[in-house]
Amino acid sequence: MTRALLLIPALVLAVEVAGAAAGHPWTPGLLTIDPDSAQRLLHAGERLAFVDLRPADAYRAGHLPGARSVPLVELRSRHAEIPRDALVVVYGDASTAEAGAAWRFLRSVGVPRAFVLEGGLAAWRAGGFTIEDESHEGLRAPSNPLTDS
């Protein structure tokens, strides 16, 4: 397990204890991960389970490598398909609104290591990271003169 992942439970525990000590219940905020950090974890060998919350046709047009399609409208009935032993990263197109709702639901049904991908698929693409299509072939995002050096 990577050092960064060892710090996550400690941080959550510290925030939880501080809230309880202050005399009020702790309500977790939205836990997010940016595309660069997700890439670093993948390269370090961490098991990430990407969950694409967009409609199935959007998923087929392009998704994160190895992502599982679980459209938001189906999440309640299909949440058992999401692995509990991986770091789960949910995402949509660009907004965190739908992914945030999915994150809250997953936490409520016992998915302890769930995160929202900051900026969704749009941010992943903007970072120049690989996108798979329905053939599962990796497609490199077009080069971006603003981020490429």
Q: Is 90 among the domain residues?
A: yes
Contact 52, 98 (CB under 8 A): no
pLDDT at 58 over 90: yes
Residue 66 belongs to what domain range? Answer: 29-139
CATH value at residue 98 = 3.40.250.10
Mean pLDDT of 27-47: 91
Q: Is 146 among the domain residues?
A: no
Please count the structural domains in the chain: 1
Predicted confidence at residue 96, as pLDDT, reads 87
Rg over alpha carbons for the chain, rounded to the nearest Å, is 16
Predicted confidence at residue 145, as pLDDT, reads 35
Q: Is 16 among the domain residues?
A: no
Q: Is 145 among the domain residues?
A: no
CA dihedral (5, 84, 76, 24) positive or negative: negative
Q: Is 114 among the domain residues?
A: yes
Q: Is 149 among the domain residues?
A: no
Predicted confidence at residue 14, as pLDDT, reads 40
Q: Which residue has the tokens 């670093």?
A: 40
Q: Is 101 among the domain residues?
A: yes
- Cα distance between the two ends of the chain: 31
pTM score, two decimals? Answer: 0.74
Q: Is 95 among the domain residues?
A: yes
